[in-house]
Amino acid sequence: MKKKLLALMMGTALVLAACGGGDEAADDKATKDGEETTTASGGDAEKLYNQKCLQCHGENLEGGAGPALDKVGADLSKEDIETIIAEGKGIMPAGALKGEEASTVADWLAAKK
């Protein structure tokens, strides 16, 4: 009886895991020539940050592998931030965000003082 109950529970867990909630980040991305791009509008800076920057700069802009950005606007202008996003700096790769997306995130970060 215990073996049957265990098998039922394991099977149920497997089915629920397979049918679980979707990956929201994956829903917001599309592929173009094998390269992943964001499809979020340029107007949602926090969403873009969460997709491309959070891994290194932290969930609350506190830093991690990359520097803290919680007060970056006190030291850098929007243009400076946009240049860093475009050209990279230190271990940060160039072009993580491009065009309007880079401008939107730079504007949002410049307001962090």
For the annotated binding site for heme c, the residues are: 53, 56-57, 92
Of 31, 99, 90, 100, the C-alpha closest to 56 is 90
76: left (phi over 0), alpha (psi -120 to 50) or beta: beta
Residues flagged as binding site: 53, 56-57, 92
Residues with Cβ within 8 Å of residue 75, at least 6 apart in sequence: none
